[in-house]
Amino acid sequence: MNRRKKIKQLLEAHAKKANAKKAPKKKSTYISKADRLKLAAEATLRNESPADIEQIHAVTEQAFLNAPHTEHTEQFIVKALRDAGALTVSLVAEHGARVIGHVAISPVSISDGAANWYGLGPISVLPAYQGKGVGAQLMEAALAAIAAKGAAGCVVLGDPDYYSRFGFRVVDGLVFPGVPAEYFQARAFTGAFAHGEVSYHQAFSAQA
């Protein structure tokens, strides 16, 4: 290697080191249990209002940005459900004046003709607020809301570890075609489970 090239490399390495020193340190993402509980306690839940629609769209879009198993259409699904009058439950979680989370519940149909069954989702929490108990609050409140409306039960499609903590479980013979059985779970409010193939509202095929 000639000397000029060697000096150039040394200068580049030095500049890189100096820049690294100048770069601001990344903020720690660690949040203590006490702070998590504080944020969860500060979040308030309420039904959506027309003024929330844009924020719900943004929260849903951002929540799913880096999520696995998504086609990034969840924000369109929420809108299509609303437009079709099929948002049985639409709750927002607010922190200050900011919408930080949202959950939707809509009716599903089941091939055995069982009535009053619903599907929970999409559920979204802004990435910066995830893991602080907001999602759990939305889940509990949304399930309580449909139970109060006389729902027979609710299904969910998603991470089995997450949903099982809210009383959902895989039910033999209650299926959503095309997904592995462990990703489709149900919770009955009346004791009896429906059986058959479950179809979500046609809004779930919304692409824009």
Ligand X SMILES: CC(C)(COP(=O)(O)OP(=O)(O)OC[C@H]1O[C@@H](n2cnc3c(N)ncnc32)[C@H](O)[C@@H]1OP(=O)(O)O)[C@@H](O)C(=O)NCCC(=O)NCCS
119 lies in the site for ligand X, by CB under 6 A: no
Question: Rounded to an integer, what distance in angstroms lies between the CA atom of residue 146 and that of residue 155?
Answer: 12
Smallest distance, ligand X to C-beta of residue 113, A: 26
Query: Of residues 4, 19, 161, 177, which one binds ligand X by CB under 6 A?
Result: 161
Q: Does 158 bind ligand X (CB under 6 A)?
A: yes
Dist CA 136 CA 133 (whole Å): 5
d(CA 100, CA 90): 13
Of residues 48, 55, 122, 198, which one binds ligand X by CB under 6 A? 122
CA 78-79-84 angle, to 5 degrees, is 100
Using CB under 6 A, which of 11, 46, 131, 181 touches ligand X?
A: 131
Q: Is 125 in the site for ligand X (CB under 6 A)?
A: yes
- Surface-to-core class of residue 194, CB atoms within 10 Å of its CB (0-12 exposed, 13-18 middle, 19+ buried): buried
Residue 116 or 130 with smaller CB distance to ligand X: 130
Instruction: Using CB under 6 A, list all residues that contact ligand X.
Output: 63-64, 67, 121-125, 130-136, 158-159, 161-162
